[in-house]
Chains A and B, each alone.
Chain A
Amino acid sequence: MIQKQMQERAKQMLSLGEVTCVLGWKKGDFSTNPQPAVFESEKDLEDLVYDKYCAANLSKYLVELTKKEGKVLVFLKPCDTYSFNQLLKENLIKKERSYIIGIGCEGNMQVDDDMQEIGLLEKCQTCTKTAHMVFDELIGEELTVRQGDDPFEGVLNLEQMSSDERYGFWREELSKCIRCNACRNVCPACNCRKCVFDNNKYDTAQKVNASSFEEQMFHIIRAYHVAGRCTDCGECSRVCPQLIDLHLLNRKFIKDINEFYGEFQAGADTDTPSPLTDFNIDTDPEPGSVHKRG
């Protein structure tokens, strides 16, 4: 277990004053749902846990935490470092106020309503992110292995449907949505000061609310807003209480971006321009060809 090592190192850094707080996970109501937590003392750190249920991506918490003076020690799994980089690229995290300990990850388990394990989370089954893209030091990185399934299989299945079938699929899936906003709240790319769906200044919110199918508009607009910035961390699907495969929308964008503009992984670094906000007259396809392909 690397949990012990993590606790020791965090305590050491706190006691030496190298960091002012530690961002990790603590035990939740059940053993299967540890929660993100900020630890400010060595005593608190006794509660730090790290196990196969610690799926939550901690990067987004740094947006608020690094606004404060001091330095945050954060534990990031390989996939979480992509979100960190993306937030750094968008100037939402202050790098100098964070200290990253990259930790190994064997994949996170999901449980059913009876708290019984039902296998790896979808994002872990299709994990391709086995290395830390950014870190100050590493603990237990040897644990990380690639899980194997093709992340685009679900998208391929959707692409093979007729447009009517696909529409039917999404109507059905999205009609389960209860607009709890968990996907939006957890998503590291959803970092607007005020979401357009909550903002009276623009007509988006009113129009969506007036639509007979509000949920569909919400999710599709959200997918567009995070396109090119989504690192495919899979948090949206993980937190959805209605078990909607929301990541499919984002992955369709990722697949299209890869095919049209060449392989691109948001968050792999902090300086490659996003293909959707960058134009290369010599290599990018004409918008018409994108349209034709559908």
Chain B
Amino acid sequence: MQKIGVFVCHCGTNIAGTVNIDEVVENAKHEPGVKYVAEYPYMCSEAGQSMVQKAIDEHDLSGIVISACSPRMHETTFRRAAARTKLNPFMLEMANIREQCSWVHKDKEEATNKAHALTRAAIAKVHHNTPLFPGESPVTKRALVIGGGIAGVSCALDIAEAGFVVDIVESTPSIGGKMAQLDKTFPTLDCSACILTPKMVDAQFHENINIHTYSEIESVEGFVGDFTITIRKKARSVDMKKCTGCGACYDKCPIKKIPGEFDEGLGMRTAIYTPFAQAIPNVPVIDREHCLKFKTGKCGLCETVCAPDAIDFEQEDELITEKYGAVIIATGITPISLDKFGEYAYTSPDVITSLEFERMTNAAGPTKGELIRISDKKKPKSITFIQCVGSRDVAVRSKTYCSKICCMYTAKHAMLVKDKYPDIEVNVFYIDVRTPGKNFDEFYRRAVEEYGVNYIKGQVGKVVDNGDSLWIQAVDMLDNKQIKTKTDLIVLATAIEPVKSVRNIAGMLSASIDTNNFMTEAHPKLKPVESPTAGVFLAGACQGPKDIPETVAGAGATAAKVIGLLAKDKLITNPCIADLDPYYCNGCSACEKVCPYGAISYEDTEINDHGKKAIRRIAVINKALCQGCGACVVTCPSGAMDLLGFSNRQITAEVDAICR
């Protein structure tokens, strides 16, 4: 028979305000096996914890129940307190009478009854608890960063500086990401390339950083501290070791009319190409879909002109498998598709997205920084910016969230136009202008007050391309009137969304994503750079819309967390893992198929079933891999699989106690 102690916490008035503590205490005294009951205003305080420790020793308690907050909040705290006594820390259960009770109920009587039921359930469970002992697992002191944008590169540099090896995997031919495409950055208007490219070079030459561009994650196995990840290096068709980056190949390439991804389709690239001049690595890639040699077998001009003989048409994808202790997802964002936004006439060459505008205004861009209408190559006399295109809208085609960066970059674009061409009329249609951030509102006011940018509160309903100009129908909400006006160039502040591939990556890493495909944090405030999956961290805009300062600051925080993990030699593992009763296993493999961690295999094992020896095919659990998710337990038709700390018997006891 257990000797159970029950400790009821008031949590100030958090619990005591809605729950009658005395009644919970009184009821707990009459539960079977309960030897000691106490209450205290703040059980998690030093005084509260010593009270628990003292009671365990004095009353020789064999199990304890803490009726307080969520186990996510303080289970570890009280387990540590129990560990300071002779009690095994796993002989402890939390009854959550705060988050699941006092915080969600108003009626004191009902809340008290529920607090009693929850306490009763925890007492019933602790009767079936058994001492559990955590194991240890090793830490591979190497990190993998998925995504080579500013988030991934800064995070990798910070981790590498701390002395750990970092690999960056980037799906495009160069690192740099979206920031590399930008012209100037708000709110300082400093040149994006001037601040990004040195960082890219630092990463390239850092002794602890390996960069795999044109590469993707193929598969992931393992768990925190011990991931085994296979990276697919797509065939570049150019030998990275031999190539000097001279550029003779793309100068000679006869296929010159492929819309370039880096220039958002405004500029053309060749079939063998580097995305931009400062690309890292400065090694071209052959786009096999467009290359004549791959399409027809003829050509091979690049091979002829390549002095170091680096062109390799036979090159195949290469798979690299490496072990990592931590993985950082930094896959970033991309503008949404405007296919379903017919009213903005995006099909017109003179209606462009903000990212396309960035390329156009960039001195290294397709127009050499000259602002023109794509259709007739003329300088526009007026430009109209439309904000919130696809953001802050509940329609299915749109995003419900605010894309956050658009207000600021639109103010930046407006200023850049006015700065270069003071004669151009600039109008901005907006819902709200949102400028929280250091020097942000001042920046926006400069656009309005110093540069005379005309801000109109209202949305554009229709854009029609008339050939020589664009017609706009809109509403001015402050003047409460319809606007019909002409403009020469329209820039759409297009909503941003996570890159599509993040779903697949999140799936492989068992990291959770929200309905918008943004990565979910383990806790929005207390664990803002960790995913709920141990060892998987987040950086940059894959978590939600972020600007560059936020991204870099966040990436630093991510790096600190990763360094904290990699600095450890061993990790303590959770002992609440799957537990097989080999007598009852019938070898059906159902558990093996549902295990998301690959922790279950099947082996022919000799079973001594009450003196009768037989070789049976039974499940074998890899204790290091098992994360205790319980999928196998509910799948096993025979009940042979159970979960330590959350056994079928414990759960049934809890349910029975609640229903009593």
Q: Which residues of A pack against B, CB within 8 Å?
A: 90-92, 191-194, 196, 199, 201-204, 207, 225-226, 229, 273, 277-278, 281
Interchain nearest-CB distance for B304 vs A (Å):
46
Partner of A201, one of B507, B581, B590: B581
Contacts of A225 in B (CB 8 A): 637
Q: Which B residue sits closest to A203, measured CB to CB?
A: B652
Contact of B649 with A277 in the complex, beta carbons under 8 Å: no
Contact of A207 with B652 in the complex, beta carbons under 8 Å: yes
10 A-B pairs (CB sep. < 8 Å):
A90-B589, A92-B586, A191-B586, A192-B639, A193-B586, A194-B638, A202-B648, A277-B594, A277-B635, A278-B594
Given contacts A193-B584, A207-B652, A281-B507, 20 further A-B contacts (CB under 8 A): A90-B586, A90-B588, A91-B587, A91-B617, A92-B586, A191-B588, A192-B638, A194-B583, A194-B584, A196-B639, A199-B584, A201-B581, A201-B584, A202-B639, A202-B648, A202-B649, A203-B652, A204-B639, A229-B637, A277-B635
A281–B640 Cα distance when bound, in Å, is 28
Q: Which residues of B pack against A, CB within 8 Å?
A: 503, 507, 581, 583-590, 593-594, 602, 617, 635, 637-640, 648-649, 652
Contacts of B581 in A (CB 8 A): 201
Contacts of B637 in A (CB 8 A): 192, 225-226, 229
Contact of B583 with A193 in the complex, beta carbons under 8 Å: yes
Contacts of B635 in A (CB 8 A): 277
Partner of A90, one of B590, B639, B648: B590
Contacts of A201 in B (CB 8 A): 581, 584, 639
Q: Which B residue sits closest to A189, measured CB to CB?
A: B637
Contact of B586 with A273 in the complex, beta carbons under 8 Å: no
Interchain nearest-CB distance for B623 vs A (Å):
21
A225–B637 Cα distance when bound, in Å, is 6
Contacts of B639 in A (CB 8 A): 192, 196, 199, 201-202, 204
Closest 8 CB pairs of A and B: A90-B588, A192-B638, A193-B586, A196-B639, A225-B637, A277-B594, A202-B639, A91-B587
Question: How many CB-defined contacts (below 8 Å) exist between A and B?
Answer: 56
Q: Which B residue sits closest to A204, measured CB to CB?
A: B639
Contacts of A196 in B (CB 8 A): 638-639
Contact of A192 with B590 in the complex, beta carbons under 8 Å: no
Contact of A91 with B593 in the complex, beta carbons under 8 Å: no
- Known contacts being A194-B638, A202-B649, is A277 close to B584, with CB within 8 Å? no
Partner of B588, one of A91, A194, A203: A91
Contacts of A277 in B (CB 8 A): 590, 593-594, 635
Interchain nearest-CB distance for B506 vs A (Å):
9
Q: Which A residue sits closest to B506, measured CB to CB?
A: A281
Partner of B587, one of A92, A204, A226, A278: A92
A196–B507 Cα distance when bound, in Å, is 34
- Known contacts being A91-B617, A203-B652, A277-B593, is A193 close to B588, with CB within 8 Å? no
Contacts of A204 in B (CB 8 A): 639
A281–B507 Cα distance when bound, in Å, is 9
Residue picked from B589, B594, B635, B639, most chain A C-beta under 10 Å: B639
Q: Which B residue sits closest to A224, measured CB to CB?
A: B637
Contacts of A192 in B (CB 8 A): 584, 586, 637-639
Contacts of B585 in A (CB 8 A): 193
A226–B590 Cα distance when bound, in Å, is 12
A199–B636 Cα distance when bound, in Å, is 15
Q: Which A residue sits closest to B586, measured CB to CB?
A: A193
A193–B507 Cα distance when bound, in Å, is 35
Interchain nearest-CB distance for A230 vs B (Å):
11
- Known contacts being A90-B588, A192-B637, A196-B638, is A273 close to B593, with CB within 8 Å? yes
Interchain nearest-CB distance for A65 vs B (Å):
16
Q: Which A residue sits closest to B614, measured CB to CB?
A: A67
Interchain nearest-CB distance for A271 vs B (Å):
11
Interchain nearest-CB distance for A19 vs B (Å):
23
Contacts of A191 in B (CB 8 A): 586, 588
Interchain nearest-CB distance for A3 vs B (Å):
35
Interchain nearest-CB distance for A83 vs B (Å):
14
A281–B649 Cα distance when bound, in Å, is 31
Contacts of B593 in A (CB 8 A): 273, 277-278
Contacts of A278 in B (CB 8 A): 593-594
Interchain nearest-CB distance for A222 vs B (Å):
10
A207–B653 Cα distance when bound, in Å, is 11
A21–B587 Cα distance when bound, in Å, is 25
Q: Which B residue sits closest to A281, measured CB to CB?
A: B507
Interchain nearest-CB distance for A266 vs B (Å):
13
- Known contacts being A202-B648, A281-B507, is A92 close to B638, with CB within 8 Å? no
Interchain nearest-CB distance for A196 vs B (Å):
5
Q: Which A residue sits closest to B590, measured CB to CB?
A: A277
Contacts of B652 in A (CB 8 A): 203, 207
Contacts of B584 in A (CB 8 A): 192-194, 199, 201
Residue picked from A207, A225, A277, A281, most chain B C-beta under 10 Å: A277
Q: Which A residue sits closest to B583, measured CB to CB?
A: A193
Contacts of B649 in A (CB 8 A): 202-203
Contacts of B589 in A (CB 8 A): 90-91
Q: Which B residue sits closest to A193, measured CB to CB?
A: B586
A194–B652 Cα distance when bound, in Å, is 20
Q: Which A residue sits closest to B637, measured CB to CB?
A: A225
A226–B585 Cα distance when bound, in Å, is 16
A281–B503 Cα distance when bound, in Å, is 10
A204–B589 Cα distance when bound, in Å, is 23
Interchain nearest-CB distance for A207 vs B (Å):
7
Contact of B590 with A92 in the complex, beta carbons under 8 Å: no
Interchain nearest-CB distance for B170 vs A (Å):
25
Contacts of B648 in A (CB 8 A): 202-203
Contacts of B586 in A (CB 8 A): 90, 92, 191-193
A225–B584 Cα distance when bound, in Å, is 15
A91–B617 Cα distance when bound, in Å, is 9
Interchain nearest-CB distance for A127 vs B (Å):
26
A201–B638 Cα distance when bound, in Å, is 11
Residue picked from B585, B586, B587, most chain A C-beta under 10 Å: B586
Contact of A92 with B588 in the complex, beta carbons under 8 Å: yes
Contacts of A193 in B (CB 8 A): 583-586, 638, 640
A202–B653 Cα distance when bound, in Å, is 11
A43–B99 Cα distance when bound, in Å, is 75
Interchain nearest-CB distance for B618 vs A (Å):
10
Contacts of A226 in B (CB 8 A): 637
Q: Which B residue sits closest to A196, measured CB to CB?
A: B639
A193–B617 Cα distance when bound, in Å, is 12
A91–B585 Cα distance when bound, in Å, is 12
Interchain nearest-CB distance for B509 vs A (Å):
13
A229–B594 Cα distance when bound, in Å, is 15
Contacts of B590 in A (CB 8 A): 90, 277
Contacts of A194 in B (CB 8 A): 583-584, 638
A91–B652 Cα distance when bound, in Å, is 30
Residue picked from A192, A203, A273, A281, most chain B C-beta under 10 Å: A192
A207–B649 Cα distance when bound, in Å, is 11
A90–B585 Cα distance when bound, in Å, is 12
A74–B61 Cα distance when bound, in Å, is 61
Q: Which B residue sits closest to A276, measured CB to CB?
A: B635
Contacts of B587 in A (CB 8 A): 90-92
A90–B636 Cα distance when bound, in Å, is 12
Q: Which A residue sits closest to B507, measured CB to CB?
A: A281
Interchain nearest-CB distance for B659 vs A (Å):
11
